[in-house]
Amino acid sequence: MRLILASASPRRRELLTQAGIVFTVETTDIDESQYPGEDPVSYTTRLAREKAQIVLARHPCEHDLVVLGADTTVTLDNVLLGKPTGAADAVVMLRALSGRAHQVVTGIALLSFQKAVTHAETTSVFFQAMTEHEIAEYVATGEPMDKAGAYGIQGGAARFIPRIEGDYSNVVGLPIAAVANLLKSF
Ligand SMILES: Cc1cn([C@H]2C[C@H](O)[C@@H](COP(=O)(O)OP(=O)(O)OP(=O)(O)O)O2)c(=O)[nH]c1=O
C-alpha cells in the first residue's frame, strides 16, 4: 500500500511523520464554500473526500494507492469559523472565542479504488478571557492567518487555552489515532 496525503498543511505533514507513517504529499485547491444549512460534520467530511478524490483521480493505474484528505473547522454556536480573511477578521473571531468553549471538527477521508471511509473527530477547546490588548498582540504575530478560527493551539494561542476535551492532534489538523485506526482496514 502507498499513502498520499492530499494536503498543503505543514501541521498535517508533521503529525503523520511523528506517528511513524510513511507517505508522500500532493496538494489540491478546492472551493471550500459551505452549502446552506450544512453542519460541521457533513461539511468537513465532504471537503476531506473532495481533496482525496482529486488526488486519487490523478493516479488511475495505481491500484495499491490510498489517499488521505482532511479538513479542519472551528464551530461556535453552530457557526463555522474558517481561516480569517485578514487581521480585522481574526480579531473578530478571537473576541468571539474569548472566555468560552468551542468545538474543533476535523473531517478525514481515506480513499482507494476499492474502498472509501470517512470520519469526523470533535474536540472541545476552552479559551480563557483575552483582553483587547492580548488579542491585538497575538494577531500582530501573523500566526492566526492560515488557521481555522484564527489561532494555533500548537503556537502562541496555547497560553490562552487552559483545557481541552478530546484529541489534541485533531485541533492541530489531523486526529492521528483515528487516522491510524482507519488505515489498519486498508
Ligand atoms: C484550530 C487550529 C487550526 N489549525 C490549522 C489546521 C489546518 O491547517 C487549518 C485549517 O485549514 P484546512 O482548510 O483544514 O487545511 P489547509 O488549508 O491548511 O490545507 P489543505 O486544505 O491543503 O488540506 O488550520 C492549526 O494549525 N491549529 C489550530 O489550533
The mean of the pLDDT values for the chain is 97
Query: Which amino acid, one-letter code, is at 37?
Result: G
In the annotation, is 167 catalytic? no
Condensed to tens digits (0 to 9), the pLDDT of residues 137-177 reads 999 999 999 999 999 999 999 999 999 999 999 999 999 99
Query: Computed over its alpha carbons, how large is the radius of gyration of the chain?
Result: 17
Tell me the pTM: 0.97
Partnered with residue 72 across adjacent β-strands are 106
Partnered with residue 108 across adjacent β-strands are 70, 119
Distance 10 CA to ligand 1 centre (A): 9
Region 121-143 average pLDDT: 98
Q: Is the CB of 149 under 6 A from ligand 1?
A: yes
Q: Is the CB of 173 under 6 A from ligand 1?
A: yes
Whether residue 6 contacts residue 68, with contact meaning beta carbons closer than 8 Å, is answered with yes
Structural fold of domain 2-184: Maf protein (3.90.950)
Condensed to tens digits (0 to 9), the pLDDT of residues 61-120 reads 999 999 999 999 999 998 999 999 999 999 999 999 999 999 999 999 999 999 999 999
Q: How far apart are the C-alpha atoms of 96 and 17, rounded to whole Å?
A: 33
